[in-house]
Homo-oligomer: A and B are copies of this chain.
């Protein structure tokens, strides 16, 4: 099955290429980058020298539809909203890694993203691709809105306790930390090495566009309207996201009980590893892999649950989950092409 990649010179596309290279059924098809069309890959990414030899192409919906079986959009928000409809109308399945089709409400989208929302018609057919939760819907979808990196780690961390109705849904605080690659390869002072190295920075307090996405999933899954406090920090590392989530539990309950609840919740989901009580995952322990690792601790003094949830932002938080969704859509084992061991150290 040939898979095209649009937005071919961003980190998301590059990670798709790395992962597809290990995938037995997905073959790298067209790779599109309007800005670099005609150039070789290794000019932008010398690590692909002698590995990916095809040139970058410009966008052509007809040709894309003809020559490929599925398209991954690794384009920025605002671009996907324009390209996805063309492709869907051409009858090709689309997995969009941007935020454009994640929010069902156009108003919410425009409030947080500050530009025009996609058409209602496409929004309504998009399926939110949180693989562990929405596998059924993903199976038949024509357009997948691949979840954001923060929402993936957050939702997987919070859903078991919330769906068990054991937590105060208005008490949720999410302290999020990310490596720098999450902001992409674009140039800005906040990705300048000398500004970020040996530094820790909080940013976008109360204004991050992943807030409504998180609230939408948690609200959908619990049936209660949920509002969260969500703070993002930039950590001096290239890859990795950690979510430290806090929630008040509604009855006296031990860490062990909650641990068992999580183990059961994820027993058929190989990419979520609930860690033994008393231990907590670190980001490097999932680096390069599609795992989401979760640690749990209830403080009996405050009756508050602390959840540590880590992912590699470029894998489970982007390209890996996109391929996981492609596996689900095609009824392949969900692990197909994604069973590499994290790179440690």
Contact = CB atoms under 8 A, between A and B. Distances in A.
A64 interface: no
Given A47-B286, A302-B227, A233 B177 contact: yes
A306 interface: yes
Interface in A126-143: none
The number of chain A residues touching the other chain, given as a range, is 35 or more
A164 interface: no
Contacts of A36: none
Contact of A173 (B173, B239, B308, B310): B173
Interface stretch (A17-25, A91-99, A100-108): A17-25
Given A18-B341, A238-B193, A238-B197, A302 B47 contact: no
A196 to B, nearest CB: 5
Contacts of A179: 194, 198
Interface stretch (A80-88, A113-121, A155-163, A293-301): A293-301
A70 B233 CA distance: 41
Contacts of A185: 189, 192, 194-195
Nearest to A310: B200
B203 A280 contact: yes
Highest count of chain B CB atoms <10 Å: which of A48, A188, A191, A203:
A191
A132 B205 CA distance: 27
A69 to B, nearest CB: 22
Interface stretch (A144-152, A216-224, A240-248, A322-330): A240-248
A273 B297 CA distance: 34
What 5 A-B pairs have minimum CB-CB distances, sorted nearest first? A199-B284, A47-B285, A187-B187, A201-B282, A175-B175
Interface of A: 11, 14, 17-18, 21-22, 45-51, 170, 173, 175, 177, 179-181, 185, 187-189, 191-203, 205-206, 227-229, 231, 233, 235-240, 242, 244, 246, 270, 273, 275, 279-289, 293, 295, 297, 299, 301-302, 304, 306, 308, 310, 339-345
Given A22-B340, A46-B282, A47-B284, 9 more contacts: A17-B341, A46-B285, A50-B270, A187-B192, A197-B198, A200-B283, A201-B282, A202-B242, A288-B343
